[in-house]
A and B are shown apart, each in its own frame.
Chain A
Amino acid sequence: QKEVEQDPGPLSVPEGAIVSLNCTYSNSAFQYFMWYRQYSRKGPELLMYTYSSGNKEDGRFTAQVDKSSKYISLFIRDSQPSDSATYLCAMIFNQAGTALIFGKGTTLSVSS
C-alpha cells in the first residue's frame, strides 16, 4: 500500500461546478498537508497548506483534513476553465521533515 493514495482521474466537469478532490494516507504520523496545482509543462504551485483537522478556506478553495480517517480533500467552488490542471496532495511528518510525500495527482478538466 502506498503511503498516499490519490485517484488520478481524469475528472471532467462543466464550468461553475463544485469539484471535490481527495487523498487518503496510511501513516498517522503525517501532520502537515498541502495541495499543489500543476499546469502542463510547469512546476507545482502551492495552493493550500494546513495542519489541524478541520477546514481552511482561501477564496474559491477549501481544504479539509480529517486526521481520524486519514483523509484530506480540496474543494473548488465555481470552477473555471483556468482551474484545468493536475492537483497533487502532499504531506510531511513535521516541519523539520525533509521530504514531501506526494500523491499521484488528479487531472481536472473544466469545460466552458
Chain B
Amino acid sequence: ETGVTQSPTHLIKTRGQQVTLRCSSQSGHNTVSWYQQALGQGPQFIFQYYREEENGRGNFPPRFSGLQFPNYSSELNVNALELDDSALYLCASRREREAYNEQFFGPGTRLTVL
C-alpha cells in the first residue's frame, strides 16, 4: 500500500462542466505530480507542485490548474470539460523533487466526460 490516496474514484461529467480531483500525498512527501492517462496510453505529465508552488508544467492548456496545500495534499481542477478529457488522472508523490526512485502513484480518478 503506497499511502497516496485519490478521490473520487470515478466521476461522470458533461461537456463544459468543471471538476476538482483530490490527492492526499504519502506522509512526509513534499512533491506532487499529476498525470493524465488516456485509455491504452502511457501517463502524460500535467504539472508538478513542490512546497505549494507549481514548478513544472506539461503541454496542457490553462483550463487545467492545481493547488498544493500546506499539508502537501493537492487538487487538480479542470474547467470547461471536453470529451477528450476522459481519462484516468493519477497523482504521484515523493519525498523530495529529486527522489524519483521513491515516487508513489495513487490509484487514480477515472473521469468520464459525456
State the A residues within 8 Å of B (CB). 4, 6, 8, 32, 34, 36, 41-46, 49, 88, 90, 92, 95-105
Contacts and interface: CB of A to CB of B under 8 A. Distances in A.
A7 B79 CA distance: 34
Nearest to B48: A98
The 10 closest A-B pairs by CB, nearest first: A98-B56, A102-B42, A43-B105, A99-B45, A95-B98, A49-B101, A98-B48, A44-B105, A43-B107, A104-B42
A6 B98 contact: no
Contacts of A105: 41-42
A14 to B, nearest CB: 25
Nearest to B41: A104
A75 B56 CA distance: 32
B103 interface: yes
A103 B98 contact: no
A95 B100 contact: yes
A95 B98 CA distance: 5
Given A34-B100, A42-B107, A45-B105, A103 B42 contact: yes
Contacts of A96: 97-98
Contacts of A90: 42
Interface residues of B, number: 26
B45 A98 contact: yes
Contact of B100 (A32, A43, A44, A103): A32
B7 interface: no
Interface in B38-67: 40-45, 48, 55-56, 58
Given A32-B100, A46-B101, A99-B45, 13 more contacts: A43-B105, A43-B106, A44-B43, A46-B104, A88-B43, A90-B42, A95-B98, A97-B56, A98-B45, A98-B48, A99-B33, A99-B58, A100-B100
Nearest to A8: B40
B4 interface: yes
12 contacts: A36-B105, A43-B92, A45-B2, A45-B105, A95-B98, A97-B56, A98-B45, A98-B48, A99-B48, A100-B45, A104-B42, A105-B42
